[in-house]
Amino acid sequence: MKHNVMKLIEYTTITIIALCFLGPVIWMFMQSLKTPIDSISIPPKIFFSPTFRNYSSVLSNPAFFSSLKNSLIIAAVSATLTAIIGTPFGYALARFRFKGSKHLGFFILSTMILPPIVILIPLSRIYSALHILDTMLGLVFVHILMNLALVVWVMRSFFVGIPISIEEAARIDGCTHLQAFYKVVLPLASPGLAAVTILSFIFSWNDLIYALVLTSSEICTIPIFVSTEFIGFLSVRWGELSAASVLIVLPVIILLVLVRKHLTRGLSFGAVK
């Protein structure tokens, strides 16, 4: 009896937590199928006649596909470069001991605590001087800075969890230090590399504040498009806004479903010794 009560409490708690996370997504999807009148009705309508006009309106807008392409390029390039730069850095922090190595690691970690608004004004002045305001290069660079600490620390934990004896065995077999890293250690850490690359891609894909300040007219990412196209001075086109949001969330959901095993393994590796 006690076991059944505990199971009931456990399932009820899980259901409530799931609804808290899925509730906004379900509501957004329902809004995307409503007419303009239904989307602003009070009280909100749970039962209504669905329409796909909002989706056709969004998909017929060329600016949607242009901003989608920009976000895809920026997120893919920045995630790849962040992984390439941060992985050797994480390995160095895990394997090498040098003066100030611990302080350097915590300094890198502290950059994640810094609010973006603190660095946006000086960063925009620097970008203006370098003539990279409102360019893909500028957004790629800032997204690398935004995600680098995450990659370094996650990969560091992976490399710490890999026995150094494996590298020593590779060295005895004739590998150089660099060859042992690329041929032996890096394949063992591939789940973590996949996890941080995916997370970096998602964070870059969802970025609004950096793109809002560091771009103006030439480069428009998908969060900028959604936040400006359907929100006017006097009204908000809730149906089209929700439809566009569903369309830009869908690729991320598909990506997470496809790589969920690698992501789970990557984020949980080394958590239990």
The model's pLDDT over 203-248, given as tens digits with 9 standing for 90+, comes to 999 888 899 888 877 888 999 988 888 887 777 888 888 999 899 8
Read off the pLDDT band of 69 (50, 70, 90): very high
Whether 80 and 193 have beta carbons less than 8 Å apart is answered as no
Nearest to 108 by CA among 80, 150, 78, 139: 150
In the prediction, which pLDDT does 231 show?
A: 80
Instruction: Provide the 8-state DSSP code for 30.
Output: H
Q: Which residue is it, tokens 């893919």?
A: 76
**Mean pLDDT score across all residues of the chain:** 84
d(CA 126, CA 129) in angstroms, rounded, equals 5
- H/E segment holding residue 74: helix 62-95
Read off the pLDDT band of 266 (50, 70, 90): low
DSSP 90-115: HHHHHH---TTHHHHHHHHHHTTTS-
Highest mean pLDDT among 5-14, 40-49, 70-79, 108-117: 70-79
Average pLDDT value for residue range 259-263 = 69
Whether 136 and 74 have beta carbons less than 8 Å apart is answered as yes
Encode pLDDT of 124-155 as tens digits.
889 889 888 888 999 999 999 889 888 888 88
Query: Where do the domains of the chain lie, and which CATH numbers do they carry?
Result: 58-268 (1.10.3720.10)
Whether omega for the bond prior to residue 36 falls within 30 degrees of 0, making it cis, is no
Read off the pLDDT band of 106 (50, 70, 90): confident
User: Tokens in use for 272?
Assistant: 């239990």
SS3 (DSSP) at 231: strand
Phi/psi of residue 236, nearest 5 degrees: -125, 130
**pLDDT surpassing 50 at residue 73:** yes
d(CA 42, CA 38) in angstroms, rounded, equals 9
d(CA 261, CA 195) in angstroms, rounded, equals 10
Rounded alpha-carbon distances, angstroms, from residue 37 to 29, 49, 132, 239: 16, 11, 43, 10
Dihedral of the alpha carbons of 172, 85, 114, 155, in degrees to the nearest 10: -40
